[in-house]
Amino acid sequence: MAGKDEALSGEGLVERLLPEATSCADVGGGGGGGKKWKKTYLDVLGVCCSAEVALVERLLAPLDGVRVVSVVVASRTVVVEHDPAAASESAIVNALNKAGLEASMRAYGSSGVVSRWPSPYIVASGVLLLASFFNWLFPPLQLLAFAAVCAGAPPMLRRGWAAACSLSLDINVLMLIAVAGALALGDYTEAGGIVFLFTTAEWLETLACTKVPYQCHVTVFSNKPTVIKPGRTLTSQVQASAGMSSLMGTLPAKAVLVNGEVVRVRDVRVGDVVAVRAGEIVPVDGVVVDGQSEVDESSLTGESFPVPKQPHSDVWAGTMNMDGYIAVRTTAVADNSTVARMDRLVEAAQNSRSKTQRLIDICAKYYTPGVPMIPALLGADSLRQWWNLALVLLVSACPCALVLSTPVATFCAMLRAARMGIFIKGGDVLESLGEIRAVAFDKTGTITRGEFSIDSFHLVENKLEIDHLLHWVASIESKSSHPMAAALVEYAQSKSIQPNPENVGDFRIYPGEGIYGEIHGKHIYIGNRRALARASSPQQVQETSGMIKGVSVGYVICDGELAGVFSLSDDCRTGAAEAVRELGSLGIKSVMLTGDSTRAAMHAQGQLGGVMEELHSELLPEDKVRLVGGLKARFGPTMMVGDGMNDAAALAAADVGVSMGISGSAAAMETSHATLMSSDVLRVPEAIRLGRRARRIIAVNVAASLAVKAAVLVLAASWRPVLWAAVLADVGTCLLVVLNSMTLLREKWKGGKKGDACRATARSLAMRSQLAADAGAPNSTAAGAGREQTNGCHCCPKPSKSPEHSVVIDIPSNGEHKEEQPTMAAIVAKCCGGGGSKKPAASRASQGCCSAGEGKPINGTGRRCTNEKPSCCDKGAADVTNSSPETAKGCANEGCCASLQD
Ligand SMILES: Nc1ncnc2c1ncn2[C@@H]1O[C@H](COP(=O)(O)OP(=O)(O)OP(=O)(O)O)[C@@H](O)[C@H]1O
Ligand SMILES: [Zn+2]
C-alpha cells in the first residue's frame, strides 16, 4: 500500500488533485522554496470547447507564481495551482477576463451559477436585428442590422482578439471573419444574424451545460447545515446530490466537538469526537460512539433511504443526519475523507480523455485548417459567390459540435453514474463499460454479504481447552480484516471470551490460505486446507479429509498439530441473482472466482439458483489474474467485481475493475476503475447499460455533427451558400449535442425495480427493530413475530407502491411512525436473516427462518432448496446429514424455505 501511494504521488497525481478543501495547505513540499501553493477553482464560462484549453494555458502560464493549470471543459472549470503572494486570484481572473473568457472565482461550495437571462449584448443585438426586418416599411432601417452587429459583437471581439494574439484559430475568430465578410459584401442582415445567432447559442449552451446538477446543490444545500423539516421527502435531496464534483461543497466549514468547541473542519484531527445534530451534515468520516440516528447517505451511495446508525456504525462525511443526535469519532482528516478522495478521482476523470475523444481532438486539429481549402478546388461562377462559399466553409470549419460530442456525454454519464452510487474513474472506463462481454464476480463480500456465521467449532482430540483455543484464535483474528475473522471474533465473544490482540506477535497473512500469529508461546495457523498443508504433516492432512462437513471449513493448527476445526457460511446478497440474470439478458457471461472452497462456491451458486455460468474456486490472487486474462481471451472485454485485498491484482488486470462499497478494502478501491458506493450488485448491469447508452449517444453526437456539416457544405457547393444557415447549423448542432448528452442525466434510474424498495425497507426496518430492541421497546423483538406471519410474508414484504414512489420516504416527525414498524421489522428480520445488518452471528442464527443452510441435496432425496424466489430468501435447506448439534438447528430452515417453495 505504501508503495502504491508513493507511486501515485510520484506521478504527481495526488498532488495535482488536491481537493478544494486543502486549497490553503502548503503543498510545496520539497523544492517549493517556502512558497505556499494554493488551489483556486474558477468558473470560466468562455470555455466552449477544447480549443480554449490551449488559450487558457497560454494566458496563465506566463504569470509568475502559477504552477499547474487544468481545464475541465465539460463543467467549464479552470483549476489553478498558484502562489497567492506572486499571483493573486484577482490577477488570474483578470488575465482570463481580458480575453473575454468570463471567469469568476468559484465561491466555496457553489459551482457554475449562470445567469438565467441573456446578456445585454444579446438582447440589444436581437432587438436591433428585429427592428431592421421592417426595412420594407422604411429602407434606412436596414442600417439597424449594422447596429445589431456592433451591439452584439464586443464579447466575440474580446475573445477572438485574445485567441488571435495567442495565434490560435478558435470559433470566435472564424465567426468574426464571417461577420466581416458579410459586412464587406454589404449584407448587413446576414452579419447581424450571425452575431445574434452565435451569441444566443453560446448562452443557451452555457445554460444547458451548467444548469444541470449544480444549481440544485446551491439551492438545497447551503454551507450552513440545513434543517430538514419533518415530512419533507427525500427525493429533492436525491436530485440535489447529483455530482460528486460538487459534493465537496456540501461539507460544512465548521464542526462542533462534543465539548462544544467549534473548530474548522480542516482542523479536526483523527480521534476527535464531533457532535452531529439532526439535520446537520456529517463533517468527517468516523465511527459513531454515542447516540443513534438515521443518516441519508444518498449523496455517497445513491441509495435513497435512510440508514440507521448506532454506536460502532461507520458514518461518512457529506452524508446527512436526519433525526437524532450522534457523536462521531473521526477516523480520517477532512482531506482524506471518502468524499474528498472521490472528489479527486472525479476531477482526474474529467481531465482524462477517452480514446474517442483523443481521436476526435486529433481530427479536429486538421479539420479546421483543411476545410477552407475546398473552395479553391470547387471553383465558383462569380467572385461574389466564391466569397460567399468561402465564408460558409469558414463557419463550417468550426469543429465545435464534434469536439463537444464526447466530453459532454461522458460528463453527463459520469454524473448519472455518481447519482446511482457508481464512481467511474474516467471516460475510457465509461467507454469500456459499454463493451463488456463477461463479468467475473468475486464471491465473499461481492456475491455474498461477507458476514459469516459460525456453524460449528470443534476441538480435535481435546488436547486443549476450548476456551483457550478460542481466545487465541480470536486474538489473532482481531488483527485480520478478512470477513471470516470478524465472524470468529464475534463467535468467541458470544461465548464471553474477549480477544487480546496486543499479545499476538509475528502476525502474518498468507493470501488465499489464512493467517498466522504467535500467542502465549504458541505458533498458530488459521486457514483452509492450504494453511493446514503448510503448517502440519501430510499425514494429518490425509486424516482430516472428510472429517467435517460444512460450507466453508477452517482449521486451527497449533504448534504443528491440528487443534480445532470450524465451519462457517455466508449468505448471498439480495439482488445478486437478479444482477446476474440481467447481465445474461444483456448477453454477458457471468463467472464466479473465489478463494473459498468449492463447496462454498457451490453453496452460493445454489442460492443464486444456478445462474453463474462458471465457478472457479480455491484460487490464489494470481489465479484470479490468470483467469481474468483467460476470460478476456475467450469472450472479449471483461469486468471484474471484487472487494478484497485478494482481488486488487485481478481488478487491475480486468478491462474494467469494479470495487464494492465504500467500506470495502482500500487496495481494491485504489486499483479498481470504478467503485460501487453501495453494496448493491444490481448496479453492475446498470452501469453496463449506462456505458452502452453513453456509447450510443456519443455515436449519435459524432454522426449528427458530421452529417450536418456535410449537408451544409454540399448545399453550399451545389446550390447557394447561405451564411446564416451555416452559422445556425454550427451552433445548432453544438446545442443539439449538449441536449442529446443531457438525456443521459434526465432518465430515471430503473435498475432498482421491485428489489430496490424491498431491500430498502428490509435493511432499514431490520436495523430499526434492532435499535428499538436494544432500547428495550416493547413488542419489538424478532421473536415476537408469529410463525404464520413468517409463512405468509414471502420473505420480503413487497412494496405496495410503484418503485418510483417507494424510494420517497417521509421523514417521521415524531415517535408514532416508529411504533408501527416493529412487527414488519420483525418479519423482515426473521425472514431475511437480518437484512444485511451487521448483527452478531449468534443473533442472526437465532432468527431461524432462513439463516445458514446448505445447498446440498437433502439426505439423498434429491430435493434441493432451489430458489427462483426473491433472493432474500435464497437460503438453502439444512444439511440434515450433518450430525453436529450446532448445525442441527439448520433444520428449521427447511420448513421456511419449503413453505416458500409452494
Ligand atoms: N483471516 C482468516 N481466517 C481464517 N481463514 C482465512 C482467513 N483469511 C483467509 N482464510 C482462508 O483462506 C481462504 C481464501 O481466502 P481469500 O481471501 O483468498 O478468499 P475469500 O475472501 O474467502 O473468497 P473470495 O475470493 O470470494 O473473496 C478463505 O476461504 C479462508 O478459508
Ligand atoms: Zn471477496
Q: Residue 570: CB within 6 Å of ligand 1?
A: no
Residue 58 and residue 102 in contact, taking contact as beta carbons nearer than 8 Å: no
**Ion ligand 2, residue ranges at CB < 5 A:** 442, 444-445, 643-644
**pLDDT recorded at residue 580:** 94
CA 511 to ligand 1: nearest atom: 18
What residues have CB less than 8 Å from 546, skipping those under 6 apart?
Answer: none
**pLDDT recorded at residue 304:** 60
- Give the distance (Å) from ligand 1 centre to CA of residue 275: 38
**Residue nearest atom 17 of ligand 1, based on CA coordinates:** 512
The residue to mutate among 596, 597, 641, having the most atoms of ligand 1 within 8 angstroms of its beta carbon, is: 596
The ligand minimizing its distance to the Cα of 624 is 1
- Give the distance (Å) from ligand 2 centre to CA of residue 652: 15
- Give the distance (Å) from ligand 2 centre to CA of residue 209: 40
- Give the distance (Å) from ligand 1 centre to CA of residue 512: 6
- Give the distance (Å) from ligand 1 centre to CA of residue 556: 14
Q: What residue type is 666 in one-letter code?
A: A
286-291 and 314-315 as β-strands: parallel, antiparallel, unpaired? antiparallel
Q: Angle 105-107-113 (CA atoms, 0-180°, nearest 5)? A: 85
Grid coordinates standing for 856? 446440498
- Say how far apart CA 453 and CA 212 lie, in whole Å: 46
**pLDDT recorded at residue 889:** 35
Residue of 661, 636, 635 lying closest to 647 (CA atoms): 661
- CA atoms lying within 13 Å on the CB side of residue 276: 39
Q: State the alpha helices, DSSP H only, in 17-100.
A: 51-60, 89-98
The ligand minimizing its distance to the Cα of 603 is 1
Q: State the alpha helices, DSSP H only, in 249-382.
A: 298-301, 338-351, 355-370, 374-378
Distances (CA, A) of 232 to 150, 278, 467: 51, 14, 53
Q: Residue 645: CB within 6 Å of ligand 1?
A: no
Q: Residue 646: CB within 6 Å of ligand 1?
A: yes
Grid coordinates standing for 538? 501430510
The residue to mutate among 446, 489, 528, having the most atoms of ligand 1 within 8 angstroms of its beta carbon, is: 528
- CA atoms lying within 13 Å on the CB side of residue 475: 22
ipTM of the complex: 0.96
**pLDDT recorded at residue 691:** 93
What residues have CB less than 8 Å from 79, skipping those under 6 apart?
Answer: 39, 40, 41, 42, 68, 69, 70, 71, 72, 347
Grid coordinates standing for 742? 443531457
Domain 420-448+572-691, CATH: 3.40.50.1000
- Say how far apart CA 77 and CA 103 lie, in whole Å: 9
Is residue 442 flagged as an active site residue?
yes
Q: Residue 644: CB within 6 Å of ligand 1?
A: yes
Distances (CA, A) of 798 to 659, 682, 844: 29, 18, 22
The domain limits of the chain are 19-105, 228-344, 420-448+572-691, 453-569, 753-901
Domain 453-569, CATH: 3.40.1110.10
Q: Residue 427: CB within 6 Å of ligand 1?
A: no
Domain 19-105, CATH: 3.30.70.100
Low-confidence ranges of the chain (pLDDT < 70): 1-35, 48-51, 72-76, 106-116, 168-170, 205-250, 299-305, 342-354, 357, 361, 364-365, 367-383, 540-548, 662-664, 746-902
The label of the residue with cell 488465499 reads 512
**pLDDT recorded at residue 441:** 94
Is 0.90 topped by the overall pTM?
Answer: no
Query: What's the order of all strands across the beta sheet hosting 326-330?
Result: 262-264, 254-257, 273-276, 326-330, 286-291, 314-315
Residue 286 and residue 315 in contact, taking contact as beta carbons nearer than 8 Å: yes
Q: Residue 845: CB within 6 Å of ligand 1?
A: no
Q: What residue type is 275 in one-letter code?
A: A
Name the burial class of residue 860, with classes exposed (0-12), middle (13-18) and buried (19+) by CB atoms within 10 angstroms of its CB: exposed
Distances (CA, A) of 579 to 73, 650, 674, 723, 810: 35, 21, 17, 53, 28
Name the burial class of residue 692, with classes exposed (0-12), middle (13-18) and buried (19+) by CB atoms within 10 angstroms of its CB: middle
- Say how far apart CA 849 and CA 897 lie, in whole Å: 8
The ligand minimizing its distance to the Cα of 644 is 2
**pLDDT recorded at residue 201:** 76
Q: Which CATH class is domain 228-344?
A: mainly beta
Length of the chain: 902
Grid coordinates standing for 36? 505556499
**Residue nearest atom 28 of ligand 1, based on CA coordinates:** 596
Instruction: Exactly one of 170, 285, 323, 442 is catalytic; name it.
Output: 442
Q: Residue 40: CB within 6 Å of ligand 1?
A: no
Grid coordinates standing for 542? 490425509
Instruction: Count the Cβ atoms, other than its own, within 10 Å of residue 530.
Output: 17
